[in-house]
């Protein structure tokens, strides 16, 4: 079994966890395959990675890889999705960051969880993605998002107007700092910080959340994910920002953006005793009395 491993940056705090991860994989007879830049970082710290295979792009995961392990925070997990794409390779997220909604396996629990994977005591949780299209093909082949697509203002304090239609029917014009269109996965990300609802994975919906709307009667809206969303932005400036999972590009005034559900989904490895409701409750400290 070939296991791809991705992480952003290796520091003193996580090197022991990498060492344990590699040790456990090899004890199962599994072959670690490191992202090229990650291997370069590890070579000066761990001699055991010298003969490890490497991967460079999503094309290398199309065949021969059975599992992807993301070691870091949720940002690292999202970047690993860029390698997996439509290959159907499942992802296991190990959290060495802070919050960890996606990478929610504790770094102290690496050995136990990998043992459960080895014994096939897990399930797949399907996560939907967004696909965006623009006339200029702004993001090329990287035009998909696990969390959200956001249009927001740039270099100005003036609010903007984001026109939105749903299934080719006019919905609203948002006078605001911007608009977020998120998946259920992204409901606990930027959308949540702007007052959007928490949606459990598996719900077939998208969420439209305005950023600091001028009209207080405008609220986040949940819509079926089979309905295409078209948005365009206008204001006093010539250019604005469009972001997909944190990757930003300039977008011109009145450029139309089509947002649809992507044709593929991501398989996330989950365990029976570590479900979404447990994660939400623990991360957001629900049910804990902090008044004293």
pLDDT at residue 79, rounded to an integer: 95
| Distance linking the first and last C-alpha atoms of the chain | 51
CB 144, CB 262: distance < 8 Å: yes
Whole-number Å distance between alpha carbons of 254 and 233: 5
| Largest Cα–Cα separation, the chain | 61
User: Residue 233: pLDDT band by 50, 70, 90 thresholds?
Assistant: very high
In this structure, of 78-87, 182-191, 272-281, the range with the lowest mean pLDDT score is 272-281
280 burial type by CB count under 10 A (0-12 exposed, 13-18 middle, 19+ buried): middle
pLDDT per residue as tens digits for the range 243-259: 999 899 999 999 999 99
Look at residue 203 and tell me whether its pLDDT is greater than 80: yes
User: Residue 216: pLDDT band by 50, 70, 90 thresholds?
Assistant: confident
Helix 110-118 and helix 15-27, axial crossing angle in degrees, nearest 10 = 20
CA-closest candidate to residue 146, choices 243, 273, 33, 251: 243
In this structure, of 110-114, 153-157, 264-268, the range with the lowest mean pLDDT score is 153-157
Q: How many Cβ atoms sit within 10 Å of the Cβ of residue 14?
A: 18
73 SS3 class: coil
**The one catalytic residue among 56, 60, 66, 74:** 74
Look at residue 292 and tell me whether its pLDDT is greater than 70: no
Look at residue 221 and tell me whether its pLDDT is greater than 90: yes
What average pLDDT does range 13-27 have in this prediction? 93
pLDDT per residue as tens digits for the range 113-171: 999 999 999 999 999 999 999 999 999 999 999 999 999 998 777 899 999 999 999 99
Give start and end residues of each alpha helix (H) in the chain.
15-27, 36-43, 74-84, 110-118, 190-193, 276-283
Look at residue 109 and tell me whether its pLDDT is greater than 70: yes
pLDDT per residue as tens digits for the range 57-94: 999 998 899 999 999 999 999 999 999 999 999 999 99
Q: Sketch out the chain's domains with CATH numbers.
A: 2-127+265-283 (3.40.50.10330), 130-261 (2.60.200.30)
What average pLDDT does range 268-283 have in this prediction? 86
Q: Residues 6 or more apart from 74 whose CB is under 8 A from it?
A: 93, 97, 99, 100, 101, 102, 103, 189
Token couple for 137: 């093909």
Mean of per-residue pLDDT scores for the chain: 93
The model's pTM is 0.92
Whole-number Å distance between alpha carbons of 73 and 69: 12
CA-closest candidate to residue 81, choices 73, 56, 89: 89
pLDDT at residue 291, rounded to an integer: 74
Active site residue 74: yes
Give 282 or 77, the one with higher predicted confidence: 77
């Amino acid at each position: 079994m070939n296991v791809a491993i991705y992480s952003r940056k290796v520091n003193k705090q996580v090197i022991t966890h990498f060492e344990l991860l590699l040790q456990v994989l090899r004890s199962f007879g599994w072959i670690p395959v490191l992202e090229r830049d990650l291997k370069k970082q590890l070579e000066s710290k761990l001699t055991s990675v010298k003969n490890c295979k490497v991967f460079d792009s999503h094309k290398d995961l199309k065949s021969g890889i059975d599992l992807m392990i993301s070691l870091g925070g949720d940002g690292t997990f999202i970047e690993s999705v860029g390698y997996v794409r439509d290959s159907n390779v499942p992802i296991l997220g190990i959290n060495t960051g802070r919050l960890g909604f996606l990478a929610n396996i504790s770094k102290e629990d690496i050995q136990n969880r990998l043992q459960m994977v080895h014994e096939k005591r897990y399930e797949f949780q399907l996560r939907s993605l967004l696909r965006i299209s623009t006339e200029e093909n702004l993001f090329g082949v990287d035009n998909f998002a696990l969390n959200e697509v956001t249009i927001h203002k740039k270099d100005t304090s003036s609010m903007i107007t984001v026109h939105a239609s749903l299934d080719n029917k006019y919905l609203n014009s948002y006078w605001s700092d911007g608009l977020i269109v998120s998946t259920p996965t992204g409901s606990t990300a930027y959308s949540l910080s702007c007052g959007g609802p928490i949606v459990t994975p598996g719900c077939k919906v998208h969420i439209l959340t305005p950023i600091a709307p001028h009209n207080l009667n405008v609220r986040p809206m949940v819509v079926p994910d089979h309905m295409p969303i078209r948005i365009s932005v206008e204001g006093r400036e010539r250019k604005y920002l469009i972001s997909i999972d944190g990757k930003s590009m300039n977008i011109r005034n009145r450029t139309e953006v089509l947002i649809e559900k992507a044709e593929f989904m991501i398989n996330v490895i989950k365990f029976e005793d570590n479900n979404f409701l447990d994660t939400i409750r623990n991360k957001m400290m629900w049910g804990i009395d902090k008044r004293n």
